Amino acid sequence: MFKRKPSNPFPRPANVGESIGAKDGEVTHRLTKDLAQAENLARMLAASRASAVVEVADYLAGMYIYEWERLSKFWPEQEEIEGFLQRICQISPQRWHQWIEFYDRERRGEDVHKLGRMFGSIKTERNDEKSPTASSELTSILRRAEDIAPHHDSYEGRSVPILTSECVLLSIVKNESSAISQTLREAGLDIATLEQAARNPKHAPLHGSDQ
């Protein structure tokens, strides 16, 4: 099995303007560096389906690939939930290995823009092309995660929450009417421990300057 990289518990937040949750240029939160990478992968997953929107399943898939070292501890039976996540995120074994190869090359600092041919329908984005935006459900998930996030940063004189993968995962689970939330619960997610980690982390996210 592919061994994912050790994850810095609180990596440097990414540029606030990068988040898919920004609507009409309005910045309402910022992301940790790894969550920003997961979000970029979610966009690529949506693009591979020729979808105009990023769904919750896409975002969850991005977190699964980039943040599993951090999130796996919330499930006692990790092999079982990995199978569940691959089905939820609709990642075929062949496509799964392609994403892992992409991740491994990105981790080593290689030029990932040269990997577009690996994914068939994914093309290098041109200036006149719009990347997929958040679905209405995903937008609601990110807004709830903003309320959960305990730490904030200053942006243009405003205080904006810093989202972590724990905040977003907890927000997904809190959406009890969704099939994804129900599946995550049935797979043995330790919600109490997740909520503690999301709302009361041991350390605040490290701050970095905007790019």
Q: Splitting the chain (211 residues) into consecutive groups of 10 residues, what average pLDDT does each group show?
A: 41 51 76 90 86 93 86 85 75 63 62 45 46 92 96 90 96 93 90 96 59 27
64 and 80 in contact (C-beta within 8 Å)? no
**What number of residues does the chain have?**
211
Which two tokens mark 170? Answer: 């907890």
Q: What is the pLDDT of residue 104?
A: 65
Residue 26, helix vs strand vs coil: strand
Pairing of strands 152-155, 158-163: antiparallel
Domain range list for the chain? 17-199
Going by DSSP bridges, is the β-strand pair 30-31/158-163 parallel, antiparallel, or unpaired?
parallel
Q: How many CB atoms lie within 10 A of CB 6?
A: 8
The number of angstroms, rounded, from the C-alpha of 8 to the middle of its chain's C-alpha atoms is 15
**CATH architecture of the domain formed by 17-199:** Orthogonal Bundle (1.10)
CA–centroid distance for 149 within its chain: 15
pLDDT recorded at residue 48: 80
pLDDT at residue 35 in the model: 92
> What does the pLDDT read at residue 198?
96
Q: What is the pTM of this model?
A: 0.77
**Helices and strands of the chain, counted as H and E runs:** 8, 5
What pLDDT, on a 0 to 100 scale, did the predictor assign at position 145?
Answer: 97
pLDDT for 107: 59
Residue 104 amino acid letter: D
The confidence score (pLDDT) of residue 84 equals 76
